Structures are given as C-alpha cells and as structure tokens.
C-alpha cells in the first residue's frame, strides 16, 4: 500500500515502491534509485526494438480499456514525415480511482522517464501530460520535475546527450471528466471544447492537431522503464499461470467500506477474495461486504459471490461479468443502499455528459431523475423496466462510452439488487419535506 | 471525381456504385433511401452527434452512423430492420423528453424533421414522467430568435457560423441535458448570411422574426425561383399564401449558392408584394391618366412610337425575355439606344462557399442586360435626345432621371408601378413582376436560370414578354409569342451567346451561356 501505511507483504512493489519517500520526488533522489537508466539505454536503441520489448512484455493499457501498449505504439508509422505526438492521460477522473495521482505525487520522474521512452519509441518529439484540473499537488510536482529534467538535460533538444529531441509539456485540464476520453483530451489540448471525436480516424492516423498521436495512461507509461530495465520476461512472469494475457503488476485504488482503503500494487491474477479480506482488511468491524465495483464507476457491480471468485486481471474480471477498468475499486457494505449509490453514480454521469450524443445527453439525465425519484420513495412499478430500456438505448450507440458507462452500473445493479429497488418502490417511502432555501 | 474508384454496395437490398469516400447516408440517396438524420447536412462539416442515422451494416458489431461511415466494397446496409428502427425510436423518445409538444403554436410545424420522423417511427406515448427542462426564449440578434426548449442540439447552427460563415458566433454552452446554444460574449447573428441558421434548424428552435407567426407551413405554395436581390442569382423557393409571398427560402444548387441565401435576399420578397401597382393600362387624358383596354393601349403605344427614335431605360431586374424584346423595339428605329443603372451596396461574401456572395450589384440580370446590348451608366438618361420617345421599362427613377426624362418627346411606361413625378407619360402598360411571370435571368458568371410563376399578377397586368410581343406586333414586327419559352427560343436563335439553350435544357438549375471569349478560350464556366 505504501503511503501512509507500510506495504502489505503480499504486494508486489514495482510502481509504488517509493510511494511515501519524499526523497524520491526530486531528480537526485530518483537517479539514486536507478532512475533514467532505462531512458539512457533506450535512447541508444532502435525505436522499433523498444516497441518490441513492450509488445513482448504483454503490457496493456492501464487506463481502462486494456489495449496492448506495444501494439498501439506500432500503429505509429515511423518516418512518415509528420510530427508525431504522445499524450499522457493524467486526467484521472474515474470515480474511485486515485492511482495515477500517487504516481505523480511521489514518483514524477518515473512518469517523465516513461513519457520520454515512449515518445522516442513512437517517433514523437513532443509529449503532452494532460493533468486533471483538480490535481493541484500532482500538477505542482510534475511541473517541478519537468523543470528539473529540462535543466539537467534529460529531456529537451538533446535528451541525455543522445542528440534526440524529447519535449514534455504539462497541460492542466479544467476539470471535465470527459476530457479523460482520448479524443476529447486531444480537442482540449488543442484549446477546443472537450468533445469526443468520431472514430475513425483513429488517433494513430489523425490525433492532436490532425497528426499521428498515441495516448497512454500514467500507470502504463510509468511501467515502461521497469520493463526495459528488467526485461520483458520478468514482466511476463507476473501473471496467473493459466492466463498469460494479463501481465505485470497493477495498482488498485480501494475506497468505500473497507478497513484499510488506499492504493495496493499486486501481480495480475491475484485472488480478489484474498485482496479484499487480507490486504484491505475486510469490512469495517461488525459489517459485511455487499457489493464491489472493481474498476472505477463505469464498470458493472459485482455481488460478493462474484467478487470472491474473481481474479484480479482483465480476463478474470470479465469472467465475473464486470471489467478491470481503471482498477478503482469501490466497496459497499451491508449498510449501503444500492439504489442510492446508483443514483449518485448516474448523477455524476448526467453532470459530465458532453451533450453531443442524444442518448447520452438525455439518457444520463433521465436515468438520474428516475433513480433519484425511486430513492425518494416515488418510484412506480414501470420504472425499472424503463431504466433497462433507457440503458439499452445508451449502450453502444454513441460516439464515446460515457453513456455506456452510465448504463453499466444501472443494469448490473438492477440485475443483482433488483429487490432493493422494488422494496423502495413498494414501500412508497414518503418523500422528505422539501427544504426551502 | 473522375479518377475516384467506384465502390459497390447494397443498401436496403438495392445495389449501387458510388465514388470511394462517399458516406452511407449520401450513397443511400442514390438508391432513393432516406436515412433519417438531424445533425447531418450536406453543406456542413460532419458532426455525427444526433445518432439518428444509425444503420445496420452487415458484419459490424454495432450500429453505424450513416453520416460518418464511409462506404466499403461489398457492404450490406439495412436501414429498416428492427435493430436500426429501435435505435431511431429510442433517439426520438430521448429527443422528445425535453422537447415541448407545442407543435400547434410552433412556426416549424409542418416542416419539422422531429415531427416528421416521430410520426413515422416514434413512440405513441412518452415514458418520461419528470418535469421538462425550461429555458427562456432568447433574441440572437439579426432576424433570429432562439427557443431553447425546442432545441435538439444538432449543432447545425454552430457549425454554419463557424465553418461556413467563418464567423464563430454560436456555441454549445453547458453540458449534459443542461446544454443549450449560446452566443459568444459580445456577438450576435448580424452576419449578412446568418439567416441560414433558421433554415438549417431541423426543429423550431431557431425562428425568423420576420416570418414569426405569419403562416403555417402547410398553407404555403412553393415555387422554384431565383433571388432578385443581386447578380449572384441564388436559387430560391418562393413561398406564397393567398397570392402573397410570405418568404423566400434557398433552393440548393451546387453551382451557384450551395444550400444558402443571404439575409438581404430574403427581404426581397417584400418588393414582390407591393400594393402600389398599376393594375390597368393607362393613357394620358386631359392632364391625367385614364384606364383603357389592352388593345387600345397597345395601339396608342404603337402610335407614339411609330416613326420616332426610341430610347429605352431597361431595368436590369427584367427577364432576358423582356430585355430581348425591348432590344428588338429599340432596333426598329434608327439609332435606338438603351441603357440601365445598377443600384449598388456592399458586397458580403459567404466565406466558406466558393464564389458565393451578396454582390454589390443589387439586380438579378445585369449580365443579361449587358449581353442584350444595354449599356450600364450611373446617369443613363444623359444621352436621351429631344426627338426620342423614352420607354421606361420597370426602371426606378431618381430625381435627375425625372429631369432628364422631361426632355423626351414622349414617355411610355412599361412597368409594375408608375414612377412618381414622371409628367409626360403618354401610355403606361402594367406588367407582372418576377414572381408573377416566367422567365430567365443571367447571373454574373453568365449562368442562365429559370424562374417560375409563383402568384397571379394584380388587375389586368400581363407578363412583360407578352406585352412587349404585342407592342412589337403593333409596330409591324413579327413577334407572335404565346409562352415565355417561345420568346426564349427566339432569343436563343438570334443571340449567339444563348445558342443551344432551351427551357427544357436549362431545367431548374440553369446552364452557363457560351460567351464569345469562353468559346474561344478554354476557360471554365462558372
């Protein structure tokens, strides 16, 4: 777990090894801990060789989609005469997720190193680190680290004396959730409203400023130096023996009703039951777990039966009807009302919808209004079927997946906890007296 | 496009071949399939946001937006199966949850795409039980009112101002279902082309103040025409009710005006409804003007003209047909002359469309008048001699024109109105205005375009070509014309520039004249 507590012995510390060590924040401290060795070596390698190592390691996108990182890099056509761009997605806005924040707070140079290696591998001379607007402390740390790295000649027109150019810009967002969607982020970087773009064209063909662009999550990029230092074989070994598709370590942000919330780093395929009861210390005293959202608010709920059978990797979560997502794990105990939680999540999506696609703009708000009405005790028997119908309309029909993300918790909660919704509807709780401001 | 390879695909079971790079939505048009859509408009960049045009593409995992999906070889597209229809019904329900059902008082009713598609594929009832979003009506400046409650946020208006007018004025403000169309600080819709946002709006969210509450769409009769506002010659639809022009709308023509027309052009409908028209032929009688029948009027005009020199003041707003016959009249007398003046204003281009502007010359047929041999002059009557009869052919007169006109041996007015202050009028022959007759204009790029009759001329007024043909007859010339097309045929036969053109060939989109230079050189024809 690292800061503020000691790591659990069953954790595998790669990215979070220096969480809590103030010294690791500075360039000196980072170099003492073996920092920038990977970059130095990488700048002497063939870019394609770097991409091949990453491919071989099985590293997959840690932002949520889990797309193979090496494959993504190989889509960038080297030597096509166009400027290439790398965007580091540090707009960590997924409710329940706070792993990238810790990477940037404690090991900003790890991210810069990853960014520099990736930029070189994809033929980009410019990397934008797009930081979420609310991340004031990580922003200061990243800006200070970038200044340090420039001053030391680690990045810039002659990165580490290699003659290669790697420029890193830290770009602060304005706090919109949707700007974490890669195409919306590109619009935002260009100074436009953060609306997702229609794909195709995919970013590798036409991204930021219409040029080939790769977008990677903070955690993905921060893992790259370790892979180069220790080799693809080392990384590949950190996996369930029967599932080589998910490799390496994963940072899990745990919040909600657990004894010890925080960030944990475990190998892919770690049993979720052990994770919840051992590492996180189980439910608060005297309570029982009821449900878990394992991958940030956009993925389906699991009930405890599913959660306790789950393995913590991409395929293991899919096997239980949910997704690994960003590994922002939200845990609910038996005192929580699932309809109330769903209402809160839906309200978040209704607030953050960019208003482009009809189903998302209207559907997220409509869903919210219905669920909030049910929670207020004014639900009707048709409401639950209407909710499922709306969710069906919101799934797979829009430009980006924000509306799918709103539908997923609603549908999964209704599948697993329909009784709670029905109880609220049948009991017809009297609505609270409205507060007159 | 000649080099673009063709792609074969099947849409709704119909085979078609379209150039690579065509969208499914456009390809469907080639086989007569309309894919319902809101945000897509052929004159605007693709947004793909309304999600109404989702179609089922065989082997694709998800429904594809037809407006943003390009055709591929062997594609099989289905528009009307349960999967695609369900999606459209879903979109319609979503669009209607915050849309007031105020069609009975909405100007757009009857020409509303939301109404049309809801009738076709929408749910009979709504499952929405919550209060609807409410925002007050906003004045966007210019001729435009914004009714946010009806807005479906297709962003056509935003894209028009940004990408076609190239003057970013509108935006999507706020997010989620709180979103609405906003105006940038300090900006409003006073751009000379901004009225197009009203036409582009698929629902009744953007309304014309000028047309507000004037007429219901289903009461209007629509006639293909050409804008009489300037030399650009934008193709229009004249919309009339009870013989009154209610408004002009652009009619698409890729070669002239795309899908647009300017705000100035839209206001020209007012002149077509003038109430101070001459309604019967008039002759001078005891210092006044007396109504008389057409035969006598033509005869008296013939008597005035016979054996005299003629000077013709021909309006550049008259049709090619009328100008051709006027030229013949001037040719009878030795030394017959003709001239015209063009009213000018500021030129206002539409930046995003090539060669489209509100032109400085505010008359539709300046090129036609020049081709017929009339000369432009700022003071056209200075060459009027005392021995000549002046024919004022629907030409507006300024004070100094009136002074010059007093020199004429006699004045014959062939027009829609009697010019004020003109004293020595011997005969006045009432003619139809451009909305009341058929004819052609030649625009500044030499494109000959037809306009059709949209309403009935007042009183005994007759089409200009018919009056002029009779007058030629009275002067002993052979000019037996019973239709405008026969006048045009005569014009084409006698005028090299127009040779080969006929009404049938012109169609409703027009063709360029073959001018001498263009015939000689290899220059393109606009």
| CB–CB contact A358 B46 (8 Å) | no
Q: At what angle do helices A108-122 and A136-151 cross, to 10 degrees?
A: 60
| CB–CB contact B46 A380 (8 Å) | no
Query: In the predicted model, is pLDDT for residue B517 greater than 70?
Result: no
Q: pLDDT digits over A263-320, tens only?
A: 999 999 999 999 999 999 999 999 999 999 999 999 999 999 999 999 999 999 999 9
A4: closest CA of chain B, how far (Å) = 37
Minimal Cα distance from A347: which residue of B?
A: B176
Question: By the 8 A CB rule, do B162 and B171 touch?
Answer: no
| CB–CB contact B87 A364 (8 Å) | no
Tell me, what DSSP letter sits at residue B163?
I
> Chain A contacts of B63, Cβ < 8 Å?
396-397
Q: pLDDT digits over B300-353, tens only?
A: 999 999 989 999 999 999 999 999 999 999 998 877 789 999 999 999 999 999
Query: In the predicted model, is pLDDT for residue A435 greater than 80?
Result: no
**Chain-wide mean pLDDT for chain B?**
94
Is A358's Cβ below 8 Å from some Cβ in B?
A: yes
Domain boundaries A22-236, CATH class = alpha beta
A394: closest CA of chain B, how far (Å) = 9
> What pLDDT score was predicted for residue A43?
96
> What pLDDT score was predicted for residue B200?
97
> What pLDDT score was predicted for residue A27?
96
> Chain A contacts of B61, Cβ < 8 Å?
396
Minimal Cα distance from B37: which residue of A?
A: A358
Query: Could you check whether the bond before residue A4 is cis, i.e. omega within 30 degrees of 0?
Result: yes
> Chain B contacts of A350, Cβ < 8 Å?
176-177
SS (H, E, C) B212-226: CCCCCHHHCEEEEEE
- In chain B, % helix, strand, coil (3-state, to 5) comes to 25, 20, 50
pLDDT category at A433 given cuts 50, 70, 90 is low
Interface probe with B: pick from A195, A358, A394, A403, most Cβ of B within 10 Å: A358
Q: Out of B54, B127, B153, whose CB is closest to A386? A: B127
CB neighbourhood size of A315 (10 A): 17
Please state the domain extents for chain A: 22-236, 240-333, 338-427
* β-bridge mates for residue B442, sequence order: B448
Task: Kindly state the percentage of chain B with pLDDT values over 70.
Answer: 97
Q: Interface of chain B against chain A, CB under 8 Å? A: 46-52, 54, 61-63, 65, 68, 87, 90-91, 93-95, 97-98, 127-130, 152-153, 155, 171-172, 174-179
Q: Torsions phi, psi of B241, nearest 5?
A: -140, 130
Distance CA B446, CA B443 (A): 5
- A240-333 maps to which CATH number? 3.10.20.600
Q: Out of B54, B65, B153, whose CB is closest to A361? A: B153
Minimal Cα distance from A192: which residue of B?
A: B171
A356: closest CA of chain B, how far (Å) = 5
> What pLDDT score was predicted for residue B525?
42
B90: closest CA of chain A, how far (Å) = 6
Distance CA A142, CA A149 (A): 10
Give the residue-averaged pLDDT of B193-200.
Answer: 97
Residue ranges of domains in chain B, CATH in brackets: 6-80 (3.10.20.740), 104-111+127-219 (3.30.70.20), 282-484 (3.40.50.740)
CA B184 to chain centre: 30
Q: Out of B63, B68, B91, whose CB is closest to A358? A: B91
> What pLDDT score was predicted for residue B287?
83
Q: Out of B87, B97, B128, whose CB is closest to A397? A: B87
Question: By the 8 A CB rule, do A346 and A371 touch?
Answer: yes
| CB–CB contact A366 B97 (8 Å) | yes
SS3 A87: strand
B76: closest CA of chain A, how far (Å) = 19
Q: Could you identify the residue written with the tokens 């369900």?
A: B86
Q: pLDDT digits over A321-372, tens only?
A: 999 999 999 999 999 999 999 999 999 999 999 999 999 999 999 999 999 9
| CB–CB contact B97 A399 (8 Å) | no
Is A364's Cβ below 8 Å from some Cβ in B?
A: yes
Query: In the predicted model, is pLDDT for residue A148 greater than 80?
Result: yes
From the number of C-beta atoms within 10 Å of its C-beta (0-12, 13-18, 19+), residue B218 rates as exposed
CATH 1.20.1440.230 assigned to A338-427: yes
pLDDT category at B217 given cuts 50, 70, 90 is very high
A389: closest CA of chain B, how far (Å) = 9
> What pLDDT score was predicted for residue B523?
42
Query: In the predicted model, is pLDDT for residue B259 greater than 70?
Result: yes
How many residue contacts between A and B have a Cβ separation below 8 Å? 94
């Amino acid at each position: 777990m690292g800061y503020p507590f000691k790591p659990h012995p069953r954790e595998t510390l790669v990215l979070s090894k220096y969480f809590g060590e103030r010294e690791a924040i500075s360039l000196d401290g980072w170099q003492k801990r073996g920092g920038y060795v990977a970059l130095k070596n990488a700048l002497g390698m063939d870019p394609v060789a770097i991409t091949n190592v990453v491919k071989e390691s099985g590293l997959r996108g840690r932002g949520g989609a889990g797309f193979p990182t090496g494959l993504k890099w190989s889509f960038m056509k080297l030597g096509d005469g166009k400027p290439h761009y790398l965007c580091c997605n540090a707009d960590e806005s997924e409710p329940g997720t706070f792993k990238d924040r810790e990477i940037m707070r404690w090991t900003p140079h790890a991210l810069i190193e990853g960014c520099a290696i990736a930029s070189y591998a994809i033929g980009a001379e410019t990397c934008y680190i797009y930081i979420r607007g609310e991340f004031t402390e990580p922003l200061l740390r990243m800006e200070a680290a970038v200044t340090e790295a420039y001053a030391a000649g680690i990045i810039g027109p002659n990165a580490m004396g290699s003659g290669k150019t790697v420029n890193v810009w830290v770009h602060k967002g304005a706090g919109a959730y949707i700007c974490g969607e890669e195409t919306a982020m590109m619009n935002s970087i260009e100074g436009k409203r953060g609306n997702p773009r229609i794909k195709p064209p995919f970013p590798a063909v036409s991204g930021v400023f219409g040029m080939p662009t790769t977008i990677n999550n903070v955690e993905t990029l921060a893992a790259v130096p370790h892979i180069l230092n220790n080799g693809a074989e080392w990384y590949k070994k950190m996996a369930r023996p029967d599932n080589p598709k998910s490799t390496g370590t994963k940072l899990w942000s745990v919040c909600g009703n657990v004894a010890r919330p925080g960030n944990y780093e475990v190998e892919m395929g770690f049993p979720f039951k052990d994770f919840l009861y051992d590492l996180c210390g189980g439910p608060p005293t005297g309570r029982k777990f009821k449900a878990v959202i394992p991958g940030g608010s956009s993925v389906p709920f699991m009930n405890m039966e599913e959660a306790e059978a789950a393995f913590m990797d991409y395929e293991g979560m899919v096997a239980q009807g949910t997704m690994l997502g960003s590994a922002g794990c939200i845990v609910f105990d038996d005192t929580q009302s699932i309809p109330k939680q769903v209402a809160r999540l839906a309200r978040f999506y209704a607030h953050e919808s960019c208003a482009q696609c009809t189903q998302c703009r209207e559907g997220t708000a409509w869903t919210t209004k219905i669920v909030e009405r049910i929670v207020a005790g004014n639900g009707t028997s048709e409401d639950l079927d209407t909710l499922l119908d709306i969710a069906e309309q919101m799934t797979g029909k829009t430009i980006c997946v924000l509306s799918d993300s709103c539908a997923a918790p609603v549908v999964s909660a209704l599948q697993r906890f329909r009784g709670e919704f029905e109880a609220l509807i049948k009991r017809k709780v009297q609505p609270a007296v409205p507060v007159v401001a | 496009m000649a080099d673009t390879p063709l792609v074969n695909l099947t849409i709704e079971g119909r085979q078609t071949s379209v150039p690579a790079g065509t969208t499914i939505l456009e390809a469907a048009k080639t086989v007569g399939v309309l894919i319902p859509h809101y945000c897509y408009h052929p004159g605007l960049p693709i947004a793909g946001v309304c999600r109404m045009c989702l179609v089922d593409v065989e082997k694709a995992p998800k429904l594809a937006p037809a407006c943003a999906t390009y055709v591929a070889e062997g594609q099989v597209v289905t528009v009307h199966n349960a999967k695609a229809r369900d999606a459209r019904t879903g979109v319609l329900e979503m669009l209607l949850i915050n849309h007031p059902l105020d069609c009975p008082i909405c100007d757009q009713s009857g020409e509303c795409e939301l109404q049309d598609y809801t009738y076709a594929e929408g749910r009979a009832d709504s499952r929405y039980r919550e209060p609807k979003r409410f925002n007050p009506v906003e004045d966007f400046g210019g001729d435009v009112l914004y009714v946010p409650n009806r807005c479906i946020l297709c962003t056509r208006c935003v894209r028009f101002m940004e990408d076609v007018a190239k003057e970013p004025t509108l935006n999507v403000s706020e997010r989620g279902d709180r979103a609405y169309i906003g105006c940038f600080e300090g900006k409003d819709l006073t751009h000379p082309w901004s009225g197009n946002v009203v036409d582009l709006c698929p629902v009744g969210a953007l309304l014309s103040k000028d047309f507000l509450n004037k007429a219901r769409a289903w009461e209007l009769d629509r006639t293909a025409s050409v804008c009489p506002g300037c030399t650009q010659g934008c193709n229009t639809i004249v919309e009339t009710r009870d013989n009154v022009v209610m408004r002009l709308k652009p009619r698409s023509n890729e070669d002239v005006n795309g899908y647009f027309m300017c705000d100035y052009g839209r206001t020209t409908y007012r002149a077509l409804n003038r109430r101070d028209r001459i309604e019967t032929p008039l002759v001078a009688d005891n210092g006044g003007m007396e109504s008389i029948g057409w035969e006598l009027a033509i005869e008296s005009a013939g008597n005035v003209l016979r054996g005299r020199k003629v000077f013709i003041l021909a309006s550049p707003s008259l049709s090619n047909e009328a100008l051709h016959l006027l030229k013949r009249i001037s040719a009878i007398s030795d030394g017959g002359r003709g001239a015209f003046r063009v009213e000018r204003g500021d030129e206002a281009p539409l930046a995003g469309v090539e060669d489209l502007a509100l032109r400085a010359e505010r008359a539709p047929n300046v090129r036609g008048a020049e081709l017929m041999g009339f000369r432009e002059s700022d003071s056209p009557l200075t060459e009027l001699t005392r021995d000549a009869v002046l024919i004022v052919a629907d030409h507006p007169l300024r004070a100094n024109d009136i002074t010059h006109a007093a020199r004429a041996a006699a004045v014959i007015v062939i027009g829609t109105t009697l010019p004020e202050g003109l004293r020595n009028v011997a005969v006045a022959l009432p003619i139809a205005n451009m909305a009341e007759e058929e004819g052609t204009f030649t625009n500044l790029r030499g494109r000959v375009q037809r306009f059709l009759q949209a309403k009935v001329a007042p009183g005994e007024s007759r089409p200009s070509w018919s009056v002029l043909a009779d007058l030629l007859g009275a002067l002993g010339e052979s000019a037996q014309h019973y239709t405008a097309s026969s006048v045009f045929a005569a014009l084409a036969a006698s005028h090299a520039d127009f040779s080969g053109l006929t009404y049938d060939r012109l169609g409703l989109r027009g063709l360029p004249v073959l001018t001498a230079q263009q015939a000689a050189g290899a220059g393109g024809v606009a």
